[in-house]
Amino acid sequence: MGIEQKLKELGIKLPQAQPPAANYVPAVRTGNLLYLSGVGPAKRPDGSIPTGKVGADLSTEEGYEAARLVGLNVLARLRDEIGNLDKVTRIVKLLGMVNCSPDFSEHPAVINGCSDLMVEVFEERGRHARSAVGMQALPFGIAVEIEAIAEVED
C-alpha cells in the first residue's frame, strides 16, 4: 500500500506546506538525505495553533498533540520537497524542541506525538534516532518545533 493511501485509511489529511518564516530554505538535500528546517505545528481543525509553555500553560498530553501536529507539517514538507511520500526510505532523525517551563522534564513524552505519527505512517521505515530537549522559548510562542532528516530515493 502506498503512503498516500495509508494516510487516507488513517483519516489523516496533510496541510499545505508552509513557506519559511525568515531567511532560510525549508529543506536541503545532499545525496539521499533530506534535511528539513525546523517545523512548527499545523493548525487544529478550529484554526488555532498550540502555543505556550508545556508544564505551565499546556499539559504533557497537550504537548503530545502539538508534536503530532508538527508531524503533520513534517509530512507535508517532505511531500512538497520530493513530490511523493513513497520516496521516503527512512525517517533518520528527529530533533524535538519543547517550549517549556524550567522544571518540565517530560520532553520525550511530548515528542512521542511526532515519533508515533512517523511510525504509524511509515511503519518500520518511520523508526528513527531522536533528541528531545526543552527550550526557554520558540518562535511565535509555538509549543513544539521539530527538525527532521529523511533518507529518500533518487
For 83-117, the pLDDT digits (tens) are: 999 999 999 999 999 999 999 999 999 999 999 99
**CATH number for the domain formed by residue range(s) 24-152:** 3.30.1330.40
Domain ranges of the chain: 24-152
DSSP line for 9-61: HHT--PPPPPPPSSSS-SEEEETTEEEEEEE-PPPPTTS---BS-BTTTB-HH
3-state secondary structure of 1: coil
Short-list 65, 144, 50, 73, CA closest to 104: 144
pTM: 0.97
Average pLDDT, whole number, for the chain?
97
